[in-house]
């Protein structure tokens, strides 16, 4: 299985990173990572667009889901059928938001392994014959930033802040809780609140612990995600106004 992952994910990404490094003027690894991030984001764009719309639709539907929960408080089977019908009426697949995350995970793991190996002789032995092997890969990005190091608190905090921003954009304002039975929030809503704070903290820790190259990749990927969400939500608001 590990060999299959190496051939399908690790080796193509390693070769693509080295090829980009070779063709980018100045051979700047930081610029290479940014270009790599943009290309991966574009490849996953259709899936991530669907996921963002699905996540936002689920958030917007939360008040109606709460109403169903109160209406069928003691009728679990009827609640399940009514919930599925509500999803169907609004053309929402509650699981569609998970697919892009699952697809992106192998890419993230492969990128992590590529930068963890730090382009060693053993790693570069996996280059394809048509990809030129550079004599050395300079880990200093933008003329001052060492991407082979870690424990950069500034980049870690920026990555966490970007993650919080992206997650916060998906959070819908929930109706004021008045009835005692409404305090039993659904599991999805509770998880959303927890993830809004847990994910940024985890991002800070990982970004601080792992090589700066991976932290830079994750930071820029998150910023692109924020921009995409803003564009999608802005378009949705314009459609609602019309």
Please indicate whether residue 101 or residue 89 has the higher confidence score (pLDDT).
Answer: 89
Q: What is the pTM of this model?
A: 0.75
Q: What residues form DSSP beta bridges with 140?
A: 146
Q: How confident is the model at residue 239 (pLDDT cuts 50, 70, 90)?
A: low
Please check whether residue 29 is in contact with residue 141, taking contact to mean a CB–CB distance below 8 angstroms.
yes
Where are the alpha helices (H) located in the chain, listed in sequence order?
2-5, 11-23, 29-43, 45-60, 62-71, 76-89, 99-117, 121-124, 153-169, 187-209, 212-241
pLDDT of residue 192: 63
Please indicate whether residue 60 or residue 224 has the higher confidence score (pLDDT).
Answer: 224
pLDDT digits (tens, 9 = 90+) for 190-204: 666 777 788 889 999
Question: What rounded mean pLDDT belongs to the chain?
Answer: 81
In the chain, domain spans: 2-241
Geometric angle at alpha carbon 94, from 242 and 194, rounded to 5°: 100
């Amino acid at each position: 299985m590990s060999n299959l992952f190496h051939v399908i994910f690790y080796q193509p990404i390693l070769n693509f990173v080295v090829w980009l490094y070779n063709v980018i003027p100045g051979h700047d690894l930081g610029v290479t990572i940014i270009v790599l991030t943009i290309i991966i984001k574009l490849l996953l764009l259709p899936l991530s667009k669907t996921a963002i719309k699905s996540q936002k639709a689920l958030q917007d539907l939360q008040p109606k889901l709460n109403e169903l929960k109160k209406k069928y408080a003691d009728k679990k089977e009827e609640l399940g059928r009514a919930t599925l019908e509500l999803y169907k009426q609004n053309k929402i697949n509650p699981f569609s938001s998970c697919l892009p995350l699952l697809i992106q995970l192998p890419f993230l793991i492969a990128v992590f392994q590529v930068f963890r190996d730090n382009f060693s002789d053993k790693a570069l032995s996996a280059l394809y014959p048509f990809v030129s092997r550079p004599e050395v890969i300079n880990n200093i990005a933008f003329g001052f930033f060492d991407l082979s190091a870690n424990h950069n608190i500034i980049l870690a905090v920026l990555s966490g802040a970007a993650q919080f921003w992206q997650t916060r954009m998906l959070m819908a304002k929930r109706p004021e809780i008045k009835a005692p039975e409404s305090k039993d929030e659904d599991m999805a809503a509770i998880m959303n609140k927890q993830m809004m704070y847990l994910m940024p903290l985890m991002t800070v820790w990982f970004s601080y612990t792992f090589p700066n190259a991976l932290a830079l990749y994750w930071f820029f990927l998150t910023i692109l995600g924020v921009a995409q969400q803003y564009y999608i939500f802005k378009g949705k608001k314009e459609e609602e106004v019309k």
